[in-house]
Amino acid sequence: MDLSALIQKNSTKIIFIILDGLGGLPIDGKTELERANKPNLDNLAKISACGLHLPVDYGITPGSGPGHFGVFGYDPLKYEIGRGVLEALGLDIELQKTDVAIRCNYATKKDGLIVDRRAGRIATEKNIELTSRLSKYINEIDGVKIILKPGKEHRFCLVMRFPKEIREKEAWVKDTDPQKEGKQPLDPVPLNSESLEVAEVAKKFIQKAEEILKNEEKANFVLLRGFSALPEIPSFEQKYGLKACSIAVYPMYRGITKLLGMDTVPVEGDIEEEVELLKKVYKDYDFLFFHVKKVDSFGEDGNFEGKVKKIEEFDRFLPEILSLNPDALVITGDHSTPCILKAHSWHPVPLLIKSPYVLGGMVNSFTERECLKGELGIIHSLSIMPLVLANTLRLRKFGA
């Protein structure tokens, strides 16, 4: 439903927290949330509206982009935006209509197979060194300007700047990441005839990069993901009448929110630094998005104890966030990342909404099984923002 006719502005404030990859599955009988010692989250859940949400639909495993777009109320099936654009914007690359952006990983290749898709999560300093080396020797391919910029750990961004405007369908090229170790890297296959040129430039880039990196112990290969060109999308403020700010350490998530027109405030470090920034900018915005990445990272690594400890670390900082006394507080994830799978999954994601206008009193803790008992039930992610707006009295009555 288009909410624009029902939107009304007021002075209420919303804090929207994403613990990336929050949901999990049992190992030895308990999920990561069930294992974690998190008294503040559990006590908050008792007085909040709780439930689970589906980022896309039943049985569909979402990427981080679709997961975030869904919780922000943008239908991920309508706005299918490549990760390359999000990564580039997050790294403060000023994209043009002539650009194709690609999210890249340094990887380890041995005997023709990818043995580590993330090159051992190399240090960001090493990434900067390698990306500088690639930039020195690869700055143009077949008349296409090559722009490279390092991200965090093993990630970097490639932008191909063509001499002509590029439409979205001209960037439809298959990812080269096989998604599992022990497999050969894939070719950048064009998904339509219009994408042949982009695919050919990508293929030549991979060949040149492999030659330059061949003597590296870990980062001796590159994997290309999320080929994309700039889309057209309504801003968050246009959609909801909210002046919004994004607090996220990792470039991709800054890219998502920048694409939606949120102010992105640079921050380094982790949860403590993000909380300090939240307190600093709180008074200036209606909607404050707060992102915690490492919950997902530990899930992807299959590190059950690491994910548990990250949830516990966030819990220790929750009282500082609550001290700001927002009119509505949302805590959820963009998708589930169970350690047992070492990957994103299709499982519904725990969701908590605190406001003065919820029933509450239906769950005893913030876990997958308890949230299933909550007043929200299982909802689609597109329903979250309307509920948040309603709980801050920002939606007028519908009809007479």
Segment 111-143, tens digit of pLDDT:
999 999 999 999 999 999 999 999 999 999 999
Mean pLDDT (whole number) for 10-35 = 97
Q: What is the pLDDT of residues 272-305, one digit of tens each?
A: 999 999 999 999 999 999 999 999 999 999 999 9
Q: What is the pLDDT of residues 63-92, one digit of tens each?
A: 888 899 999 999 988 887 778 888 888 788
Q: Which CATH superfamily is domain 14-78+233-391 in?
A: Alkaline Phosphatase, subunit A (3.40.720.10)
For residue 303, how far is the Cα from the chain centroid?
A: 19
| Cα–Cα distance for residue pair 107/122, rounded to 1 Å | 9
The confidence band for 244, taking pLDDT boundaries of 50, 70 and 90, is: very high
Q: What is the pLDDT of residue 79?
A: 82
Q: Which fold has domain 85-228?
A: Alpha-Beta Plaits (3.30.70)
Query: 């080396």: which residue's tokens?
Result: 133
Q: What is the pLDDT of residue 280?
A: 96
315 conformational bin, left if phi > 0, alpha if psi -120 to 50, beta if neither? alpha
What does the angle CA 157 – CA 159 – CA 163 come to, to the nearest 5 degrees?
175
Q: What is the pLDDT of residue 93?
A: 87
The answer to whether the CB of 183 falls within 8 A of the CB of 114 is yes
And the tokens for 266? 């640079």
Amino acid at 237: E
Q: What is the pLDDT of residue 255?
A: 83
Mean pLDDT (whole number) for 318-328 = 98
The confidence band for 251, taking pLDDT boundaries of 50, 70 and 90, is: confident
The residues pairing with 246 across neighbouring beta strands, listed in sequence order, are 264, 289
- Tell me which residue of 220, 297, 304 sits closest to 35, measured CA to CA: 304
Q: What is the pLDDT of residue 91?
A: 85
Please determine, for residue 36, whether its predicted confidence score (pLDDT) is greater than 90.
yes
CATH 3.40.720.10 domain locations along the chain: 14-78+233-391
Q: What is the pLDDT of residue 400?
A: 78
| Cα–Cα distance for residue pair 141/131, rounded to 1 Å | 17
Q: What is the pLDDT of residue 112?
A: 94
- Tell me which residue of 131, 134, 104, 128 sits closest to 223, measured CA to CA: 104
Q: What is the pLDDT of residues 136-173, one digit of tens each?
A: 999 999 999 999 999 989 999 999 999 998 888 889 99
The two counts, helices (H) then strands (E), for the chain are 13, 14
CATH 3.30.70 domain locations along the chain: 85-228
Which one has a higher pLDDT value, 100 or 167?
Answer: 100
| Per-chain mean pLDDT for the chain | 94
- Burial of 7 per CB tally in 10 Å (0-12, 13-18, 19+): middle
272-282 burial, b at 16+ Cβ within 10 Å, e below that, comes to: eebbebbeeeb
% of the chain exceeding 70 in pLDDT? 100
Q: What is the pLDDT of residue 256?
A: 85
Q: Is 207 helix (H, G, I), strand (E, B) or coil?
A: helix
Q: What is the pLDDT of residues 343-394, one digit of tens each?
A: 999 999 999 999 999 999 999 999 999 999 999 999 999 999 999 999 999 9
**Which element (helix H / strand E) includes 332?**
strand 328-332
Tallying the residues shown for the chain, one arrives at 400
Query: 């690491």: which residue's tokens?
Result: 306
Query: 């999308």: which residue's tokens?
Result: 233
| Cα–Cα distance for residue pair 328/389, rounded to 1 Å | 9
% of the chain exceeding 90 in pLDDT? 83
